[in-house]
Structure 1
């Protein structure tokens, strides 16, 4: 039988040693217990964010660079990028909550917003419409497009709006031609090569490939001299209200990448090579077409959005009397 000491000093010493062990165990448990928003060893837990983009062109480079070069991670975000053909389809995914952000044309977003959708425009990454209308070699003037088939990505998309602007410039009406929804910009060129359409609206670098193949450029849309918000970042206003710090972090990351993408030619081409299957000559040509249109920082100006609204009034008359300032939230870019 074990003998218990009656010496109070020995008992006190044993109790103190026991309590030290209990305290040490408790302290270690607390130290290695992950807190909210953090993992073990003090590492920050990244907030997962899904962003969709609806075109494969040099205009998406700001988003790609933010993802690839760690700008999102620097601001505590784990980013996933998802390509969805056509802005209208991506808008539906955003509305359904399948993605957190969309790098999109504002046109389908404005249309849905005017009809009650919970969208908000956070930043403009490209403030000019960088499209060129190409036709088969036999077509020498824009007026000759009457009765022809013209390829776009989707009805209501930026490519659709660009064709309508070109038709107005040529003195034609949308009813004078047939719109063919193809799905994506590279697919428009493929349809032109196959003879399925007579003309198509293209953006870099696909436009460079079209020139090499002998297709005739009829109109470079920026030559119309119109301010036009071409692409940017949108989300749901309810998401902004519930997670403003996440929005702030996201736009801070995008602002940082926008500066690098616009000013560092080598970094831009490195990113474009990763996402686009084209040789350097085509990539450089496309990047040059976008260079002046890139926004840094990506401030969501109203002037370009007003031009988008004006182009949508025939199809979406609800936009006529709305206040576009309610569609825009610029505080997350202004704060950087």
Structure 2
């Protein structure tokens, strides 16, 4: 996002917080495509935590940045449970990526965190409860998407159109079951995965994560802006208009539906 603001690159795959922050600061950045329109995290707690109320006064492990996907998912999960970190004295402790967050939970540094289902399996087997499974809640969310500055969007529409169509076609190719035997070996090569079974799991997760619609979800962006304002990530987010953050014109031209 910083490279886009500096004019070093024209487009980028970024989280909506970056676009919302840019627009709130007066920039003309806009999200034109969504490549992950939901969140699959589970709120996993220490075995001593039996219900939502038990999280009051406890420490919650989040990602390295308060504006990151895991951190937003954390406050969204807490909000779903009727909890507010400030009011309920829940400490949001930056603990890094998922392996680090899980280690902090098991080590007792934190009493809850959000992690993906494939990471949480072992913890659940050891008695760590899942208080919220966000994938099952269908909570409006925009995890990431293709963003562009409006100036190159106007000056180089053909370039932007080609990039968008290429990304759209790639999503459709990946989610097509008939292409699985092409996609999985490609993933094994490029991600350096040697175990075919593990590669198949990664493929299944990827297909699950990729959007049914390539358009950014307006309710998802709106809910993130609301959370950013409420939880002090950026108080100015409350004044940002969603129509200034997302533009659905091009994604609708590219077909809208990815599958």
The TM-score, its normalising length taken from structure 2, stands at 0.78
Structure 2: unaligned runs, 5 residues or longer? 255-259
Q: CA RMSD in A?
A: 3.0
Structure 1 residues 331 and 135 mapped into 2: Cα distance closer, same or farther (>3 Å)?
same
Deviation at residue 128 of structure 1 after TM alignment: 1.5
Question: Per the alignment, in what secondary structure is the counterpart of residue 83 of structure 2?
Answer: coil
Q: Is 1:236 aligned to 2:146, yes or no?
A: no
Structure 1 residues 289 and 245 mapped into 2: Cα distance closer, same or farther (>3 Å)?
same
Q: Please, which of 224, 228, 252 is the counterpart of residue 334 of structure 1?
A: 252
Q: Please, which of 307, 323, 330 is the counterpart of residue 241 of structure 2?
A: 323
Q: Please, which of 185, 191, 194 is the counterpart of residue 98 of structure 2?
A: 185
Q: Contact 2:32 / 2:216 at 8 angstroms: preserved in 1? A: yes
Structure 1 residues 236 and 215 mapped into 2: Cα distance closer, same or farther (>3 Å)?
farther
Match of 1:160 in 2: 71
Question: Per the alignment, in what secondary structure is the counterpart of residue 131 of structure 2?
Answer: strand
Q: Please, which of 199, 216, 222 is the counterpart of residue 300 of structure 1?
A: 216
Structure 1 residues 299 and 170 mapped into 2: Cα distance closer, same or farther (>3 Å)?
closer
Structure 1: unaligned runs, 5 residues or longer? 1-90
For the pair shown, the structure with the greater C-alpha radius of gyration is 1
Distance in 2 (CA, whole Å) between partners of 1:313 and 1:212 is 37
Q: Please, which of 140, 147, 160 is the counterpart of residue 227 of structure 1?
A: 140
Residues 37-186 of structure 1 mapped to structure 2, 5 A cutoff: 91-97=1-7, 99-153=9-63, 154-175=65-86, 176-186=89-99
Distance in 2 (CA, whole Å) between partners of 1:216 and 1:139 is 8
Distance in 2 (CA, whole Å) between partners of 1:214 and 1:97 is 50
Deviation at residue 255 of structure 1 after TM alignment: 0.3
Q: Contact 2:23 / 2:244 at 8 angstroms: preserved in 1? A: no
Residues 257-276 of structure 1 mapped to structure 2, 5 A cutoff: 257-264=170-177, 265-267=180-182, 269-270=184-185, 272-273=187-188, 274-275=190-191
Q: Contact 1:259 / 1:297 at 8 angstroms: preserved in 2? A: no
Structure 1 residues 200 and 276 mapped into 2: Cα distance closer, same or farther (>3 Å)?
farther
Greater mean alpha carbon deviation, residues 251-260 or residues 101-110 = 101-110
Distance in 2 (CA, whole Å) between partners of 1:138 and 1:307 is 31
Deviation at residue 100 of structure 1 after TM alignment: 4.2
